[in-house]
Amino acid sequence: MNASAANPLLAYCLDVARRADGASAELAIVDTATKNRWLSRSAELLDESVEEIVAANRKDLELAPSYGLTPAAIDRLRIDRERLTAISNAMRDIARLPDPVGEVLDGYKRPNGLEITKVRVPLGVVFFIYESRPNVTADAAAICIKSGNAVILRGGKEAIHSSSAIVKCLQNAASQTGIPRDAVQFVETTDRDAVGLFLGLDKFIDVTIPRGGESLIRRVAAEATMPVIKHFDGNCHVYVEKSADLEMALDIIENSKCQRMGVCNALESLLVHEEVATKFLPMLRDRLASHKIELRGCEASRLILPEMVPATEEDWGREYLGPVLSVKIISNTLSAIEHINHYSSHHTDAIITNDLIASRAFTQAVDSAAVVVNASTRFNDGGEFGFGAEIGISTDKFHARGPCGLRELTSYKYVVQGNGQIRK
C-alpha cells in the first residue's frame, strides 16, 4: 500500500496538487481574451449569487465568536451586497490590466544568426495561504489566472463557507469560458496538517505565498520544499530630518499612522532629528491627541515630553498594528539609516526632508522594499503603485520585492530561433 492510500489527507492534497499542475499546463497557452472573459463572467456570477454568498457568510459570522475573533476581525469577515459588488468590480478592474504573459523583455541576434528572445511566462502553480478575509479569495484567484497561473487557495477556517461559495462562482465561470476548472481550487479541509503536506509537494507546486501572521510565515518558510514569497511584518519608520517642513511631517505622520492602524504599511516607529525635536514633539503630541495614540519614547524624547511611556528595546522592532507609536531622537541621517536597517522589517520606510543630499543618502542606503521621500508609508500598495491588484507585499529580495502584482507572478524563458546552426 502506498503512502497516499494509507493517508486520506495526503491523498486529498496530492489530488488537488496534481489537478492544479495539469491545469497550469493548459492555462499557460490560454489567450488574454479568454482570461478576460473568465474575469468578466466571474464578476457577473458573483453579482448574481449575492444571496447565496451572503447566506454562506452568515454561517461564518455565527461561528466567528467561537474562534475568538475580535470585532475588527469580524467586520473584515463580513460580506454584504455592497462589499460583494466591490469584489466583483475588482475582478473587472483586473480584466482591464495588461496581460504580462508573452511580453518580450529582451531580444537580440547573435553573430551566428541565432535569434534569442527573453519572454515573460507564468510561474505555474501557486499555493496561496491567507487570512480570513473572503475578498482575498477572489482577488488572489483573479491575479493568478490573469498572470497564467493555477492557484490552490488555502483560506482560514473562519471564512470557509464564504470562500467556498465564492470559489464555486469562479469555477463555474471557468467551465463557461474555456478556463480549466482546476485552475482555481479551494482547500476544503480545515485540518492544519494539510498545509504541511502541500508544502512538501514541490513536484506539482511551483511557489507558495503565505499571507498572515509571522508564526505562519516562519512555519511556511521552514517547511516549504518550493520557493516562498514571504511577507513578514511591517515595522515601518518615518524619519523627520532637520530640514523638514514640520507641518508636512505632521500630515504625513498622521496619515501613515492613523488612516488605518492594523495594516502592514502603517507607521510604527518615528525618528526625529535632535535639532527639531524640541519644537516638533509637542506639535506631534497635539496632532495625535484626538487619535488617542500612546507615545513610547527614548530618554531624550521624554525630557521634552515627560508624559511619554518609556520605550524598551523591544519597542524599536515591534509592529503594533494599533494606537501605539515609538519615538526616538536621532543625531543625524546616518544614525537614522543605521537604526532603520537594524530594526526595520524592510517593508516601508520614509524620510521627510528638504535636503537633497539627505534624501539621496536615505534612499540609497535604507534596505527596504519601498523607500519613500516626503509622502505617507501607506502608499506602498499595489493599487497605489498602479499595479491594479496585488497578492501581497514581499519583504524578500528574491524573486519579488514590494507589492506583488501580475508581473511579479511571472518568470521568463529564452526562446532561441535558428536555421540549422550547430555548436562547434
pLDDT tens-digit series, residues 178-219? 999 999 999 999 999 999 999 999 999 999 999 887 788 889
Quick one: 218 and 294 in the same domain? Answer: no
- Does a structural domain hold residue 396? no
- Does a structural domain hold residue 392? no
pLDDT reported for residue 2? 64
Quick one: 170 and 78 in the same domain? Answer: yes
Quick one: 253 and 372 in the same domain? Answer: yes
Order of all β-strands in the sheet with 309-310: 309-310, 294-297, 324-330, 267-273, 236-240, 348-352, 370-373
Which among 69, 72, 51 is positioned nearest to 60, based on CA atoms? 69
Quick one: 189 and 264 in the same domain? Answer: no
Quick one: 11 and 93 in the same domain? Answer: yes
Instruction: State yes or no: cis peptide before 339, omega within 30 of 0.
Output: no
CA distances from 200 to 44, 56, 316, 331 (A): 36, 32, 36, 49
The rounded percent of the chain whose pLDDT value lies above 70 is 99
DSSP class of residue 351 equals E
Quick one: 171 and 26 in the same domain? Answer: yes
- Does a structural domain hold residue 423? no
CA distances from 199 to 145, 202, 406 (A): 21, 7, 23
Mean pLDDT of 239-251: 98
Mean pLDDT of 388-401: 83
Instruction: Give the CATH number for residue 295.
Output: 3.40.309.10
Which has the higher per-residue pLDDT, 424 or 329? Answer: 329
- Specify the amino acid at residue 157: K
Q: How many domains does the chain have?
A: 2
Count of C-beta atoms within a 10 Å radius of residue 114? 13
The sign of the dihedral angle between the CA atoms of 258, 259, 264, 269 is negative
pLDDT band at 160 (very low <50, low <70, confident <90, very high): very high
pLDDT reported for residue 5? 65
Quick one: 192 and 240 in the same domain? Answer: no
pTM for the model stands at: 0.87
Contact 105, 412 (CB under 8 A): yes
Domain that holds residue 365: 236-384
pLDDT tops 70 at residue 4: no
Mean pLDDT of 36-47: 98
pLDDT reported for residue 89? 94
pLDDT reported for residue 6? 76
Count of C-beta atoms within a 10 Å radius of residue 240? 28
pLDDT reported for residue 287? 97
Which among 265, 229, 216, 224 is positioned nearest to 394, based on CA atoms? 229
Range in 27-31, 78-82, 261-265 the model is least confident about: 261-265
- Tell me the helix, strand and coil percentages in the chain, rounded to 5: 50, 20, 35
SS3 assignment, position 275: helix
pLDDT reported for residue 389? 74
CA distance 119 to 139: 25
Q: What is the mean pLDDT of the chain?
A: 94
CA distance 87 to 90: 5
Specify the residue for cell string 521621500.
373
SS3 assignment, position 114: coil
Quick one: 194 and 326 in the same domain? Answer: no
CA distance 295 to 229: 33
Which among 246, 256, 235, 314 is positioned nearest to 278, based on CA atoms? 246
Quick one: 250 and 218 in the same domain? Answer: no
pLDDT tops 80 at residue 410: yes
pLDDT reported for residue 105? 97
DSSP class of residue 152 equals E
The torsion angles phi and psi of 415, rounded to 5 degrees, stand at -105, 120
The rounded percent of the chain whose pLDDT value lies above 90 is 83
Mean pLDDT of 91-105: 95
Which among 316, 263, 320, 258 is positioned nearest to 288, based on CA atoms? 258
CA distance 18 to 12: 10
CA distance 349 to 371: 5
